[in-house]
Structure 1
């Protein structure tokens, strides 16, 4: 069985809350959920599957703690690891950069030879543009707790089941 670690960058606590919901659905114990500011190469080596979550700030920027986190990830051998991305954004106020943080993580990690899993169909989302859309699908799970919080639990459940299938 694949060992899963969940890493999140959260400024206001929203992404942390979503990370904990995802971890619960994946049966990941709380001791394997980390604030990305605590990430180390040794920690990354422990896991077969990395679930990485970020919020999107400003006009499509990565959450601050991820800038150092990405540098550490890029120093690691990710060639035998699955990476599942998720992120929080505001599809109403920031419809042109909705969940761009997911797209930034993807762009930063796509040349590491990791295997991405957990793409999400854009159907059911209202937004104008997102760099998290790759080949017509979100490259991870976008969550909008500001405008669509009533859809969060269902979106997480559906995504987690897909990720489980892809990593098995």
Structure 2
């Protein structure tokens, strides 16, 4: 079973979380709004997907901000983790999906095995804290519902098929 934990202010991240749950199989995925359950639920799962939007100038979304310090107290050893970040690559080009990168850094430092890197091809941004060390990929799926909404569904399908084998699901 995969826990998909999200925070959403405008509803975009919730919409993405629902689509991912459908693509991974609703029988295989449990959705959790971080504002309702906090992070204690993490201990009950070995496979996790975190969906987090970036706000303003590289800020963490408000529901995630409420539990941000708690991430540092969780042992992610033995857990397989994937990330989805939402951002605006044109309006906030210098901070595109930064919150995803910031969450990744906290979690990977606590022992998680990260899956689901995603190519930067097809994006137009200035900088991001969500890049791999070589700068050729995002550490998770980057989505832009402001300027590339038309690419979201195809990106979701490809990314979900990419991570399925790593979380014990058929692609």
* TM-score normalised over the length of structure 1: 0.91
Specify whether residues 40 and 107 from structure 1 end up closer, same or farther in structure 2 by C-alpha distance, changes over 3 A only.
closer
- Cα deviation, residue 80, structure 1: 1.0
Worse-superposed segment, 72-81 or 126-135: 72-81
Say whether the 8 Å CA contact 2:8–2:61 is kept in structure 1: yes
* Mapped pair 1:109 → 2:107: yes
- Cα deviation, residue 155, structure 1: 0.4
- Cα deviation, residue 30, structure 1: 9.5
Q: In structure 2, what is the Cα distance between the partners aligned to 1:36 and 1:67?
A: 10
- The runs of at least 4 aligned residues of structure 1 exceeding 4 Å deviation read none
Worse-superposed segment, 29-38 or 139-148: 29-38
- Cα deviation, residue 102, structure 1: 0.6
Per the alignment, residue 156 of structure 2 pairs with: 156
Per the alignment, residue 95 of structure 1 pairs with: 93
Q: Does the residue aligned with 2:156 lie in a helix, a strand or coil?
A: helix
Per the alignment, residue 76 of structure 1 pairs with: 74
Q: In structure 1, what is the Cα distance between the partners aligned to 2:60 and 2:132?
A: 17
* 2:10 alignment partner, one of 9, 12, 16: 12
Specify whether residues 103 and 26 from structure 1 end up closer, same or farther in structure 2 by C-alpha distance, changes over 3 A only.
same
Say whether the 8 Å CA contact 2:3–2:47 is kept in structure 1: yes
Worse-superposed segment, 61-70 or 147-156: 61-70
Unaligned runs of 5+ in 1: none
Unaligned runs of 5+ in 2: none
* Mapped pair 1:35 → 2:57: no
Aligned length: 165
- Cα deviation, residue 73, structure 1: 3.4
- Cα deviation, residue 106, structure 1: 1.0
Q: In structure 2, what is the Cα distance between the partners aligned to 1:31 and 1:118?
A: 17
Say whether the 8 Å CA contact 1:5–1:28 is kept in structure 2: no
* TM-score normalised over the length of structure 2: 0.90
Say whether the 8 Å CA contact 1:8–1:16 is kept in structure 2: yes
Q: In structure 1, what is the Cα distance between the partners aligned to 2:86 and 2:31?
A: 17
